Structure 1
Amino acid sequence: MNSRRSKSSGADKSLPPEEQQAKINEVRRALGPSAADELPSLCSDGSIRRSLRARNWEAHKASKMLKETMKWRLEYKPESIRWEDVAREAETGKIYRANYLDKYGRTVLVMRPGFQNTSSTKGQIRYLVYCMENAILNLAADQEQMVWLIDFQGWSMASITIKVTRETAHVLQDYYPERLALGILYNPPRIFESFWKVVKPFLDQKTYKKVKFVYSDDTDSQKIMTDLFDINNLESAFGGRNQVGFDFNKYAEQMKEDDTKMSAIVNSAGSVLSQEPSLASILQQPEPSTSEALSQGSSDSSSPSDAESPKPVHTKNSKENKEKLNLNYDRGSAKLDVQPEPIKMRESA
């Protein structure tokens, strides 16, 4: 059943398909015909829908977000960043795309802020943007969101600055809206609680609700990992059985191959980027049950309430999964927003 939840509660509104499309069309008109010529992928239904979800389906706010994003993309040119531009930032493995997916076929970005190796805010953000573009490049055809695994090994208050944290939140929320499904903070030390209190004001409520605190010695929070990942594929640093660590040279080769794919897409003048499934086909996807909340990102859609819950994809054969990865930057899906509350940090002793 469709419903409209209170705006004051900070929750999203669920809209029927025809209202969603009407909102999308309203935003597209506000952007103007020239926008579709300059950045067709940004004016696609999927891109506009994500911006609308991020702005609680308020068309004028979504239009403003997209105009600012368009200006940023035209000036910053994130799709043109290549491995050789950011290789120095990547040397320690502080951010990298994992060679496995979660059980639902979503791309996984591993982050280790304790492995920070540079002091340039500009360079660090440039590498973050490169990783985001690469993660989107490797999204499966039926996914539009990714998972972040943040490992606090070696982390201290000196590992990352407030300036970088603020800019990271800005880039993620304003230029990549609704791309994050979950951000898992794994074994944050107690001293992180002070840092988290400073960080929270940078996050809107939608992003904040996607953050989960997980501790290796806490059975309840560990269930998040077993529900979300095949333990045989998951890295040992996150409680899995995969002993293969980050190899800079192998990762460099992988990124160079992906750069070639990205160049091919850019050179296609947007024809590949603008291909998307129709809204009708997207909305035929079944509605997730509450028990499968972790399987869904923060999205809005209307689906039959009595439909079966989506099934996780098999991720045992990584080669097979890689062959299925979609090169379409903007293809995505719309699913009902069913998010559990964030796991609270441990209280200080």
Structure 2
Amino acid sequence: MDFNIMESSTESKEELTRNRLVRALVERKDPSSKEVDDPTIRRFLRARDFDISQASAMFLKYLKWRRTFVPNGFISASEVPNQIAQNKMFLQGSDKKGRPIAVVLGNRHFQDGLKEFKRFVVYGLDKTCARIPPGQEKFIAIGDLEGWGYSNSDIRGYLGALSILQDYYPERLGKMFIVHAPLVFMTVWKIVYPFIDNKTKKKIVFVENKMLKSTLLEEIDESQLPEIYGGQLPLVPI
């Protein structure tokens, strides 16, 4: 008898039961949640270690936020023109697990209005998540800080982006590689780090320059790796 299969089956049944309980609790308070699929609810459960009460509260907060922050159901390019003009986010290829790869060039980010930047974060995350294939729920990101300086520093923006990712897109980030991080960035990192939840912290990897290509190739085939890291794909602006 395969006990691993039995254990997996039991976990699946438990997960399904908790999923239904969260849906029932949330639908009583917000009927619009009926339109949300089960995998989405499951991600909120996982983000709260399957605590039904906490997951329900988190999900209700998400529904309210989505209605007010994204009233049209999506952020259009016309709502984030200044952010798009900075040409700092790219989306191309997928890793060995089929997760889409987003690349952000930190030296192209400049403070240009916090509200528009937050809209751009949602714009980018929605486009990235739309590229996630069936059977997969996550994406990976490469945060490239080559050439980053204090003129690019935006602590309020970083914290705003972090809050959106953790609170409203739980369990979407699979891994984030931070590459070419200059020493001056660590001053900002020390301020931001306490606001990163433990689940997200485990997904962030600082990569040494000398190990850059070999580290990325552990997760990404060369045919899917951006050219700037020794791969074959050109960067495609989001």
What do residues 19-77 of structure 1 show as CA deviations (whole Å, max 9, x unaligned)?
11121112112102463x424343x2211110111011111100010000000011112
Q: Does 1:171 align with 2:142?
A: no
Distance between the aligned counterparts of 1:233 and 1:51, measured in 2? Answer: 30
Gapped regions of structure 1 (runs ≥ 5): 3-14, 256-349
Residue 109 of structure 1, CA deviation: 1.2
Q: Does 1:84 align with 2:75?
A: no
What do residues 297-349 of structure 1 show as CA deviations (whole Å, max 9, x unaligned)?
xxxxxxxxxxxxxxxxxxxxxxxxxxxxxxxxxxxxxxxxxxxxxxxxxxxxx
- What residue number does 1:325 align with? none
Q: Name the SS of the counterpart of 1:16 in structure 2.
A: helix
RMSD: 2.2
Residue 245 of structure 1, CA deviation: 4.2
Distance between the aligned counterparts of 1:39 and 1:60, measured in 2? Answer: 16
What do residues 183-209 of structure 1 show as CA deviations (whole Å, max 9, x unaligned)?
110111122222211111111000010
Distance between the aligned counterparts of 2:191 and 2:230, measured in 1? Answer: 28
Residue 240 of structure 1, CA deviation: 2.3
Residue 239 of structure 1, CA deviation: 3.4
Q: Name the SS of the counterpart of 2:206 in structure 1.
A: strand
- What residue number does 2:27 align with? 32
| Alignment of structure 1 residues 60-75 onto 2, 5 Å | 60-75=53-68
Residue 92 of structure 1, CA deviation: 2.8
| Residues 107, 145 of structure 2: 8 Å contact kept | yes
Please report the TM-score for the alignment, with normalisation by the length of structure 2: 0.88
Q: Which amino acid aligns with 1:19?
A: E
- What residue number does 1:141 align with? 134
Q: Which amino acid aligns with 1:234?
A: L
| Residues 41, 47 of structure 1: 8 Å contact kept | no
Counting aligned pairs with the same residue, the percent is 28
Q: Which amino acid aligns with 2:209?
A: S
Q: Which amino acid aligns with 2:224?
A: N
- What residue number does 2:48 align with? 55
Q: Does 1:95 align with 2:102?
A: no
Q: Which amino acid aligns with 1:88?
A: N
Please report the TM-score for the alignment, with normalisation by the length of structure 1: 0.62
Question: Which structure shows the higher helix fraction?
Answer: 2
Distance between the aligned counterparts of 1:233 and 1:26, measured in 2? Answer: 40
Distance verdict in 2 for CA 1:245–1:54, change over 3 Å: closer
Distance between the aligned counterparts of 1:131 and 1:205, measured in 2? Answer: 23
| Residues 106, 146 of structure 1: 8 Å contact kept | yes
Distance between the aligned counterparts of 1:23 and 1:226, measured in 2? Answer: 37
Residue 158 of structure 1, CA deviation: 2.9
| Residues 186, 238 of structure 1: 8 Å contact kept | no
- What residue number does 1:232 align with? 223
| Residues 216, 239 of structure 1: 8 Å contact kept | no
Q: Which amino acid aligns with 1:188?
A: A
Distance between the aligned counterparts of 1:71 and 1:34, measured in 2? Answer: 11
Gapped regions of structure 2 (runs ≥ 5): 5-9
